[in-house]
């Protein structure tokens, strides 16, 4: 079964694709795990679902929040709203848009309010 082992290493590269890369990788690995047995495939799928939940709702908002100075809650809401409005493209531009909005509010609105 050397081909299955070679295929399992490749989905790690898919994680470089924002938002959907690790989902595609998890699907590929779960399909390859079906060649072993159904319980292994189900366990693999459960692991990837848990991994995605951890990454999407805990890890990514904190990292993005510290990198672009956007609070974690705003990051999650921005991604959800961006995904609902524009789909995958909306998810990809949600956090940079939230950071730009924060910067505009901080530099333009709040400075004007301070001067008045």
Whether pLDDT at 42 is above 80: yes
Q: How far apart are the first and last CA of the chain?
A: 72
Mean pLDDT computed over every residue of the chain: 79
- Model confidence, pTM: 0.56
Q: Is the dihedral of CA 24, 54, 51, 9 positive or negative?
A: positive
Q: Tens digits of per-residue pLDDT, 69-110?
A: 888 788 888 888 988 998 888 888 888 888 888 888 888 877
Which helix H or strand E contains 64, and what residues bound it? helix 60-68
Q: How far is CA 43 from the centre of its chain?
A: 21
- Please state the domain extents for the chain: 1-68, 69-116
Q: Tens digits of per-residue pLDDT, 9-23?
A: 556 666 666 667 777
């Amino acid at each position: 079964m050397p081909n299955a082992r070679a295929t399992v290493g490749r989905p790690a590269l898919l994680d470089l694709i924002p938002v959907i890369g690790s989902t595609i990788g998890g699907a590929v690995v779960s399909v390859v795990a079906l060649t072993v047995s159904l319980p292994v495939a189900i366990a693999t799928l459960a692991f990837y679902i848990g991994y995605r939940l951890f990454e999407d709702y805990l890890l990514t908002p904190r990292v993005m929040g510290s990198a672009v100075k956007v609070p974690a809650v705003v990051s999650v809401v921005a991604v959800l709203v961006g995904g609902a409005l524009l789909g995958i493209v909306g998810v990809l531009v949600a956090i940079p848009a939230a950071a730009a909005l924060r910067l505009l509010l901080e530099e333009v609105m709040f400075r004007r309010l301070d001067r008045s």
